């Protein structure tokens, strides 16, 4: 039997192992925030990967944003050399999950199996993908122990909160310097290759006024009315302009194939009272109003231009409103990234998808960011994609699940990609 067929059969035979591994991972409730049980899940992965012949290292992101003695940011990096010179293929999965939230009909940390699916928080995002990559590597090592190069598997903290205690930290430590190919098993679906993501620019806009008694508003200056004028100008000029900016990036869903802006929050005047407080508000003219905006931008756009557009809105308002004044503060920025379709890791996964599904892979770009940003910007490695089982729409929702057949098939794709990238064809027959 050809190696590809043997690899596929080997993985199909490991289905119950794959399910049990996914269940075990889901049952460690690595909630972020606060960043719980990172050490426990790293210890679990450590035992598993040592048994598979990896050398492992547990790395705490000391001093990184979010790291504390109460909630240390632990990461694991495991490496297995094949014994011949060659490339390093690195699978990176985040180990953290978001809060369960309401509306579950199963235990979010029970790992229940039902109708061919494993349920639980993190099932698709992304413990199912992590499990699939481990099974892929184990099966590949079993059949091709003398492969070229090396396989690495990392489990990293804090992706859901920016990745600073995870992939960003590892990249700063030079942990991607020797890596040639990165596959991030985020749930983009088993037959799609995700090349990258749009950019992010978050900012806080503050309008200024003057406090006065609410019965004599003419003695003050209402910062909320000023903010209203900003919103009006955004509706008139900015939102229509953004809708015109289309991208050649294959972003999914289709609605995100343009520039977007979300208003995350607006607050002006007195703080809202806690539920149960029965007093009345006091009469004051608000002297400050703050708005947080979340602008997602395209690879064709320049981040300086993104910022200039928002400033232009504020300056237009200033020209038309006596007394108008504002501050604008950048909160967060991530540049867009997109791997070329002819990059080696893309080619290897595309060929594996063709083999497993008998058709071409779809190429997509994610509307939001993930850890590829750090591998690109800090690690300076472009040859990186997201590829993994699960449906992105289920991420962060109640009754999150991952399909068992999807996990098996993506593990097959990952193992075939390994055989392509690590010269398994040159493996002496055993």
Query: Which tokens hold the place of 111?
Result: 């790992």
Residue 159 appears among annotated catalytic residues: yes
Q: Kindly identify the residues of this chain, within the stretch 183-202, that bind Zn ion according to CB under 5 A.
A: 186
Q: Of the residues 10, 67, 87, 159, which is catalytic?
A: 159
Whole-number minimum distance, CB 125 to Zn ion, in Å?
Answer: 4
* Residue from the set 10, 125, 221, 420 that interacts with Zn ion by CB under 5 A: 125
Q: Are 159 and 395 in contact (CB under 8 A)?
A: no
**From the CB of 197, what's the least distance to Zn ion, in Å?**
12
Buried b / exposed e along 102-112 (16+ C-beta atoms within 10 A): eebeeebbebb
* Least distance in angstroms from the C-beta of 394 to Zn ion: 11
Which residue number, 160 or 221, has a Cβ lying nearer to Zn ion? Answer: 160
Q: Which residues partner with 117 through β-bridges? A: 114, 403
**Binding piece for Zn ion, criterion CB under 5 A, among 40-48, 63-71, 182-190, 225-233:** 182-190
Q: What is the Cα gyration radius of the chain? A: 25
Q: Which stretch binds Zn ion (CB under 5 A): 119-127, 174-182, 214-222, 260-268?
A: 119-127
Identify the CA nearest to 243 among candidates 225, 260, 268.
260
The 228-257 contact track toward Zn ion, x by CB under 5 A, reads ------------------------------
Q: Contact, 31 vs 96, CB < 8 A?
A: yes
Q: How big is the site for Zn ion, counted in residues (CB under 5 A)?
A: 3
Measured between alpha carbons, how far is 384 from 348 in angstroms, rounded to an integer?
12
Catalytic residue among 10, 96, 158, 233: 96
Residue 125 or 376: which CB sits closer to Zn ion? 125
Stretch that binds Zn ion, among 64-72, 140-148, 178-186, 248-256 (CB under 5 A): 178-186
Question: Which span sits near Zn ion by CB under 5 A: 73-81, 124-132, 148-156, 288-296?
Answer: 124-132
Among 126, 223, 291, 375, binds Zn ion (CB under 5 A): 126
DSSP one-letter code for 251: B
Query: What is the maximal distance between C-alpha atoms in the chain?
Result: 90
> Residue 26, interface with Zn ion (CB under 5 A)?
no
Alpha-carbon gap, residue 357 to 186, rounded angstroms: 19
CB contact at 8 A, 168 and 67: no
136: nearest Cα among 185, 188, 97, 187 = 185
On whether the CB atoms of residues 386 and 184 are closer than 8 A, the answer is yes
Annotated catalytic residues are 96, 159
Residues near Zn ion (CB under 5 A) are 125-126, 186
């Amino acid at each position: 039997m050809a190696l590809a067929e043997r690899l596929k059969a080997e993985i199909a035979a490991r289905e119950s192992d794959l399910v049990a591994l996914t269940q075990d991972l889901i049952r460690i409730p690595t909630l972020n925030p606060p960043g719980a049980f990172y050490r426990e899940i790293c210890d679990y992965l450590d035992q598993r990967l040592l048994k598979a012949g990896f050398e492992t290292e547990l790395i705490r992101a000391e001093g990184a944003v979010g790291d504390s003695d109460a909630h240390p940011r632990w990461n694991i990096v495991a490496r297995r050399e094949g014994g011949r010179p060659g490339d390093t293929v690195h699978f990176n999965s985040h180990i953290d999950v978001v809060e369960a939230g309401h509306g579950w009909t199963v235990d979010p940390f029970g790992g229940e199996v039902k109708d061919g699916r494993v349920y639980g928080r993190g099932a698709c995002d992304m413990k199912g993908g992590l499990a699939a990559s481990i099974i892929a590597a184990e099966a590949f090592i079993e059949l091709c122990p003398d492969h070229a190069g090396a396989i690495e598997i990392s489990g990293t903290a804090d992706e859901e909160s920016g990745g600073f205690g995870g992939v960003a930290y590892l990249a700063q430590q030079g942990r991607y310097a020797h890596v040639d190919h990165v596959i991030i098993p985020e749930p983009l679906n088993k037959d799609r290759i995700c090349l990258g993501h749009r950019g992010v620019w978050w900012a806080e806009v503050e309008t200024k006024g003057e406090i006065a008694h609410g019965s004599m508003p003419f003695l003050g200056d209402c910062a909320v009315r000023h903010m209203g004028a900003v919103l009006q100008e955004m509706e008139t000029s900015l939102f229509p302009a953004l809708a015109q900016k289309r991208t050649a990036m294959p972003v999914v869903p289709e609605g995100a194939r343009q520039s977007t802006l979300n208003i995350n929050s607006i607050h002006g005047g007195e703080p809202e009272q806690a539920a149960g407080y029965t007093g009345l508000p006091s009469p004051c003219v608000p002297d400050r109003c703050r708005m947080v905006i979340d602008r997602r931008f395209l690879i064709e756009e320049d981040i300086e231009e993104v910022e200039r557009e928002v400033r232009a809105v504020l300056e237009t308002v200033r020209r038309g409103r006596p007394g108008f004044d504002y501050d604008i503060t950048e909160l967060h920025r991530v540049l867009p990234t997109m791997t070329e379709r002819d990059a080696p890791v893309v080619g290897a996964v595309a060929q594996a998808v063709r083999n497993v599904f008998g058709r071409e892979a779809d190429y997509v770009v994610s509307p939001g960011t993930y850890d590829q940003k750090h591998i690109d910007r800090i690690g300076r490695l472009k040859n990186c994609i997201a590829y993994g089982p699960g449906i992105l729409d289920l991420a962060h929702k109640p009754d999150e699940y991952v399909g068992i057949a999807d996990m098996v098939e993506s593990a097959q794709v990952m193992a075939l990609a390994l055989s392509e990238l690590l010269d398994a064809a040159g493996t002496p027959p055993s």
